[in-house]
Amino acid sequence: AALQMFTQIMSGNPLSSTEIKQIHANLVKGFKSGITRPLSYRRHQLLQLARLVQENIPAIEDAVLADIGKQRQECTLTELGPIVQACLYAAENLEEWVKPKKPEVEEFRKTWDVTVYSVPKGVALIISPWNYPYILTLSPLVGAIAAGCPAVLKPSESTPTCSAIMAALVAKYLDPAAYTVILGAVEETTVLLELQWNHIFFTGGTNIGRKIAAAAGKNLTPLTLELGGEKLLFGKVQNAGQLCVSPDYVLIPRSIATPFKDAVKKAYEGFFPSDPLHPESNWSKIVNAAHFNRLEKLLARTKGEIILGGKVDENLRRIAPTVVTNVKLDDPLMEEEIFGPILPIIEVENTEEAVQIVGDRPSPLVMYVFTDSEDLKQKLLNRTNSGTLVLNDTFMQLSVHEMPFGGHGDSGYGAYFGKSSFDIFTHERSYINVPAAMEPFFGYRYPPYTDESYKA
Ligand code: NAD
């Protein structure tokens, strides 16, 4: 029945530009009428979003499996569980987050009732990529709901089954007067971007991110851009490396390169006891032919040495997890984000050279460093930059609700998760109420400005 439902939605014609504008106008109207503001409403929508996921796990997993071949366990672990957690965390903390703040003020202004109210910014647009179709769309939505903002979700056209079922579920579980999914690709997104939003939240590639920033700039719309090791190998093989926080390359001091490669080989054999390209294996596929061809060309062009994997299967769009050693900084593998199951290893003289290399390249979304050295940690903190710095594991930053997740420089701007998601969609509205009793102190500010009043 679920499959039938999304096939039906997918066969429907895409929305016309007039229909998209009408949806936007309705949400603006809904926001102005105040429907999304009451805390009870926000909490209810957050819990509904958690239910949306919990009550539809098999259907969502089917969709993710159909679109990108991601296994159920991986889907629940990396997408569905964290969404439910984020909803519950926000619902639980909401009351605390919205409390008006009373900043400490100078004695003179103590009677002015100086207050900062956390108010919803307004109607939000959330545009997401295909690689984690659910969490990258619904997790920003948690922030919008918590903040009291209506939102349009525009998931990726590259995961059509996931996007269609999301549209159906959002319509069923959330208030349609405030939350809606608009399906489509560049054409529909372009129409969306011409409209006046109060916040745009974009996750995707750096090049498209620049276009989104230009469109948002035209309307002065505030924008968030989320752009693009056994532990190390684990980081690379989730979702076949199609993950914004996947390690993109490894820098390893020459003195320990051999034991490191041996350890990677051992982990590889443990993770893939049989051929990952066997038709029956559950290894994820590459999302589409364009990305498959891009990755295949990279493998053909690299001057490094493939020590593990390297095989591809065009029909199944699969690329074996591949480890390439002896890679140089000017290798094709180092030109841009790989976004696939290929891991280049670059040997460096020492950690100092590694720090220099990272410091000279565009700021990554995340840097993973395996070390116990306090000295190296300090060097990294002082001389490099990245959205996040993780020591001695991969991905675990994503489980810490209490700290912001976001990029820096080429990896984007703005950050979310937990309270930061609420903050994104919130305007800090300053407020004072100046008592009439202050008036005697204000005589000085009124014109005419004469020599006499100046001296006074
Ligand atoms: P993408 O940038 O191609 O697409 C993202 C969204 O933008 C899609 O919804 C798409 O429909 C829309 N879009 C594409 N072209 C557009 C255009 N010309 N005008 C308007 N909208 C347009 O990204 P993708 O290929 O779907 O996802 C992969 C990228 O996302 C990688 O670079 C990855 O690093 C990045 N990513 C970043 C994060 C993060 O949190 N920082 C998370 C996941 C993925």
337 lines ligand 1 (CB under 6 A): yes
128 lines ligand 1 (CB under 6 A): yes
Residue 242 reports pLDDT greater than 90: no
In testing the pocket of ligand 1, which one of 135, 227, 339 has its CB within 8 Å of the most ligand atoms?
A: 227
Which residues lie closer than 8 Å to 275 by C-beta, 6 or more apart? 281, 320
330 in Cβ contact with 227 (< 8 Å)? no
Nearest CA to ligand 1 atom 43: 244
232 vs 331, residue with greater confidence: 331
Residue 442 reports pLDDT greater than 60: yes
CA–CA dist 434, 432 (Å, integer)? 6
61 lines ligand 1 (CB under 6 A): no
CA–CA dist 136, 130 (Å, integer)? 9
Catalytic center residues:
226, 244
CA–CA dist 194, 197 (Å, integer)? 9
* HEC-encoded secondary structure of the chain: CHHHHHHHHHHCCCCCHHHHHHHHHHHHHHHHHCCCCCHHHHHHHHHHHHHHHHCCHHHHHHHHHHHHCCCHHHHHHHHHHHHHHHHHHHHHHHHHHHCCECCCCCHHHHHHCCEEEEEECCCEEEECCCCCCCHHHHHHHHHHHHHCCCEEEECCCCCHHHHHHHHHHHHHHCCCCCEEECCCCHHHHHHHHHCCCCEEEEEECHHHHHHHHHHHHHCCCCEEEEECCCHHHHHHHHHHHCCCCCCCCEEEEHHHHHHHHHHHHHHHHHHCCCCCCCCCCCCCCCCCHHHHHHHHHHHHHCCCEEEECCCEECCCCEECCEEEECCCCCCHHHCCCCCCCEEEEEEECCHHHHHHHHHHCCCCCEEEECCCCHHHHHHHHHHCCCCEEEECCCCHHHHCCCCCEECCHHHEECEECHHHHHHHCEEEEEECCCCHHHHHHHHHHCCCCCHHHHHC
Q: What count of other Cβ atoms lies within 10 Å of the Cβ of residue 354?
A: 21
> What is the number of the ligand 1 atom nearest to the C-alpha of 405?
40
Ligand 1 centroid vs 347 CA: distance in angstroms?
Answer: 31
In testing the pocket of ligand 1, which one of 70, 131, 158 has its CB within 8 Å of the most ligand atoms?
A: 131
Could you report the per-residue pLDDT of 94-138, keeping only the tens digit for each?
999 999 999 999 998 999 999 999 999 999 999 999 999 999 999
414 lines ligand 1 (CB under 6 A): no
Could you report the per-residue pLDDT of 371-405, keeping only the tens digit for each?
889 999 999 888 898 999 999 888 888 889 899 99
Give the pLDDT confidence score for residue 4 in this predicted structure: 47
**ipTM of this complex prediction, to 2 decimal places:** 0.93
CA–CA dist 265, 232 (Å, integer)? 12
Which residues lie closer than 8 Å to 292 by C-beta, 6 or more apart? 286, 312, 314, 317, 319
Ligand 1 centroid vs 2 CA: distance in angstroms?
Answer: 27
Please report which confidence band the pLDDT of residue 13 belongs to, taking 50, 70 and 90 as the band edges: low
Ligand 1 centroid vs 431 CA: distance in angstroms?
Answer: 38
Ligand 1 centroid vs 93 CA: distance in angstroms?
Answer: 30
CA–CA dist 224, 216 (Å, integer)? 10
At 20, which amino acid appears?
Answer: I
How confident is the prediction for the chain on average, in pLDDT? 92
Please report which confidence band the pLDDT of residue 453 belongs to, taking 50, 70 and 90 as the band edges: confident
105 vs 14, residue with greater confidence: 105
Q: What count of other Cβ atoms lies within 10 Å of the Cβ of residue 74?
A: 17
Could you report the per-residue pLDDT of 261-278, keeping only the tens digit for each?
999 999 999 999 999 999
Which residues lie closer than 8 Å to 389 by C-beta, 6 or more apart? 366, 367, 369, 380, 381
- Say how far residue 28 (Cα) sits from the centre of its chain: 25
Ligand 1 centroid vs 404 CA: distance in angstroms?
Answer: 20
Please report which confidence band the pLDDT of residue 1 belongs to, taking 50, 70 and 90 as the band edges: very low
The answer to whether the predicted template modeling score (pTM) of the entire model surpasses 0.95 is no
Nearest CA to ligand 1 atom 13: 186
